[in-house]
Structure 1
Amino acid sequence: MLKKLGLKKLGQKKLGVLATVATVLWATGGAFAFPDKPVNYIIPFNAGGESDISARLQQPYFKKITGDDLIIQYQAGAGGAQAWSVLNDQPGDGYTIMGTNLPHIILQPLLQKPGYETADLTNIYMFHFTPDALLVRADSKFETIQQVIDAAKETPGALTVGGTATNTANHIANQRFSTLTGAEMTYIPYTGTGATIPALLGGEVELLWGYTTVAAGQGDKVRMLAVAQDKRHPLFPDVPTFKELGIDMVGGAYRGIAVPKSTPEEVRQQLSDIIGQINADPEFIKEMEQAGFAMLDVPYDGMEAFMGERQKIYEDVARQLGSLK
C-alpha cells in the first residue's frame, strides 16, 4: 500500500508532516483511530454517587464522538483507595480508565498508607467540581447553620454527621467546620455518596456533609443549610454560602479521569481530547449544571501544574488540622 500511495519515496520529514496532519484531522473531527472498541470506565465508589452520575452523563457523548461505548464498572472500597492502588496493574492500552477524586488522591497518601502514592496516578483530565454543603432531612429541627453550631457546642460529639470515607472532601469539611466554629460533631464515614443519602434519609445520621449535587438529586427530601462556594449556587439562590455566615469555608471535591502509568503519551492525549470535547458540548454542560455540578477544564497538558497547586493546598490543610503523617 505504501508503494501504491507513493509514500515510499517520501523522506522522514515529510512522513512526520503527514503524521501531524493526521493528528490535526483527528482532533478537529476526523475519523477516530482510537478507540475502536468499548472503553471500560472504573468508578472507585458505589453506584449512585457523584462519580457515577457524571460518568453516566458522559456516556452518550463519548459514544457520539467516538462511535464506541463507555462501559461503567464499580470497584468500591477504602474511600477509592482499593481501586487506585491497582490501577497500574491494568493494561495501558487506553481501554481502561478510572475516575479520580481530589482531595482523596492527595490526602490519602499524605495521611495513611493506602497502597499507592499520588504520583502513581496518571490523571489525564479534571472535568468538574462539587462544592461542599451541609444538609439535613426536610423534617429536621435544624433550619440554620447557627442552630447546628449551638446544639453541637451544648453537647460536643452528640450530633452525628455522615460523609464519604475519611481523608476526603467531606471529612476535611467536617474538620474545618469544627475548627472554625468550635462545633464538634461525630463524623460517620460511608463508602460513597450513594451510601450516605439513605443514611441521612433513614435517620442513621442527623446531618450530612454532601454536595450541591446531593441537594439537586434529592429535591424536597433534604434541606441545604449552607454551601462552600464564593458565590451562591445558581440552582439554590436562597441557600447562603458559609462565607456569608462568617465561616471561611470554600471547597469540595474535584473529579477527573486517570489511566495506567504504562499508557503511551499519544493515547493519554487522545483520551484527554475526547473528554475535553465532551466537556465543551453545550448540552452536556447544561445537564451537568442542572444536576448541581460546576464545570472544570484541566486537560492532560495542564495537569502537572494543577496537581502541584492542589498538593500544596491540601498539605497546608492537613498540617493545620494536625493530621500530616
Structure 2
Amino acid sequence: MRMRLAIAGAAILGLMQTSALAAWPEKPVTVTVGFGAGGTTDVVARAVAELVSKKLGQPVVIENKAGAGGAVAVTALSKQPADGYNIVATTSTTITLDPQVTKLAFGLDDFTYVAATGEFPEAFIALPKSGWKTLKDAIDASKGAGKTTYASSTSLDRMITAALGKQTGVQFVPVPTRSGAEVVTQVIGGHTPLGYSSGAYYPQAKSGELSVLAVLGEQRLKGLPNVPTLKELGYGLSSVNLILFVAPKGLPADVAKTLYDAFAAAAADPSIVDLMEKRSLNPFVATGEALAKTIAGQSEGFKKLIEASK
C-alpha cells in the first residue's frame, strides 16, 4: 500500500512539474534595449518583440537603457535571475569587443545567447553639400588640418577609425553620442563633418539627406550598390556587427528552447524580413549553440585585430 502511495505521489509530483514547465511564461517578459529609442537596434527589437509576444502568449515589454555602447544594459542583465523574464537587445560587439578594450563587469561566458536577427550596415556618412563622394575624398580634404571630427557611438568605430588614421595620417577625433540615431542627428545638424553609423542613416540616405561614403561590411549593400566598402577603397578594414538578444547565463533548457523557437519564428516573419530590407540590414538569423559559436569566433577575431593594431 505504501509503495502504491509513493508511486502515486511521484506521478502527481511529475505532473505538477510538467505543468509548471508548460506554463512558462507566466508573466510579461522584459526586453531592455541597450541603446536609445529610434536607433536600428531599438526599431528591430520592438518589431521582433511584438511577434515574440504573440508566440509566447504574454506581453513583451520594451525598455530603453542607453549608455556605454550598450554596456549599461548588459551589465545590469548579468545581475538578473536566469528565469527567461529578462532579456537584453544589444549589438554583438558590446559583448565580443567592448570587454577587450574597456574594463567591464561582464565577459563572454556570462550570458545565454538567445538570438541574432540581422547584421548592421555600418557606414561612414556625411552631408551631400560636402561634395564628398567616397571616404577617400573626406580624408584628402582633412589632410591639411591633419585631423577631423566624427560622430561616434561605439568603441568599435573608435578602433576602426584609429586603424584608419594610422594608414592615412589623419586623426579621427570621436564626438561621443548614445546611438546611431544620434549620430545621424549630429551630422544632419552640421555638428560634425562625418559620422560612423550602425544603420540608422539608411532612410536619410535613400531620401538624399545624407551621403554614404563607405560601408564597413565585406560586401556592398544591396540597397546602396554604388557605395564601396572600406576594403574596396584599399584600407583593408571591415566590421561585422549583429543585433543580439541575450539572457543571463544558466537559463533552464526548456525556457531557452521556448525563447529560441519564438525568436527564430519572429526573425523569419515577412514583416521582419521587410523591415530588414528597409533598414538595409543584411539577413542573419541564429539561435542557441550555433549563435554562441559565432559569438566566440567574433570575439577571437577582435582579439587578433587588437593585437595586430598595437
Corresponding residue number in structure 2 for 1:123: 113
Residue 255 (structure 2) aligned to one of 256, 263, 267? 267
2:45 paired with 1:55: yes
**Identity level (%):** 25
Structure-1 separation of matches of 2:226 and 2:106: 42
2-side partners of 1:240 and 1:277: how far apart? 33
Q: What stretches of structure 2 of length at least 5 have no aligned partner? A: 1-6
> How do residues 275-290 of structure 1 correspond to structure 2 at under 5 angstroms?
275-290=263-278
Counterparts of 1:9 and 1:97, CA distance in 2? 36
Matched, 1:316 2:304: yes
In 2, the alpha carbon distance for the partners of 1:189 and 1:318 equals 21
Instruction: Identify which of 152, 161, 178 aligns with 2:150.
Output: 161
Residue 42 of structure 1, CA deviation: 0.3
The CA distance in 2 between the partners of 1:114 and 1:217, in whole Å, is: 34
Which residue of 136, 145, 157 maps to 2:126?
136
Q: CA RMSD in A?
A: 2.7
Relative to structure 1, is the Cα distance of residues 245 and 187 closer, same or farther in structure 2, using a 3 angstrom cutoff? Answer: same
SS in 1 for 2:121: strand
Matched, 1:148 2:138: yes
TM score, norm. by length of structure 2 = 0.86
Deviations along 1:113-155, whole A, 9 cap, x unmatched? Answer: 1222222232222221113211002322323222112123222
> Which one-letter code corresponds to 2:293 in the other structure?
A
Q: Distance in 2 between matches of 1:303 and 1:110?
A: 20
Matches within 5 A, 1:185-224: 185-217=172-204, 219-224=207-212
Gaps of 5+ in 1: 1-6, 27-31
- Report the CA distance between 1:110 and its aligned residue: 1.4
How high is the TM-score relative to the length of structure 1? Answer: 0.83
Q: Deviations over 1:149-204 (max 9, x none)?
A: 212322212x1111113x23x22332232234333221222122232221111122
Secondary structure at 1:302's aligned position in 2?
helix
Distance 1:152 1:213, change over 3 A: same
Alignment correspondent of 2:238: 250
Distance 1:191 1:101 in 2: 13
- Taking a change above 3 Å as real, the CA distance of residues 308 and 63 of structure 1, as seen in their structure-2 partners, is closer
Task: Answer yes or no: is 1:225 the counterpart of 2:213.
Answer: yes
Equivalent of 2:92 in 102, 109, 112: 102
Report the 3-state secondary structure (helix = DSSP H, G, I; strand = E; otherwise coil) of the residue aligned with 1:243.
coil
Inter-partner Cα distance in structure 2 for 1:113 and 1:133 = 27
Which residue does the alignment assign to 1:71?
A: 61
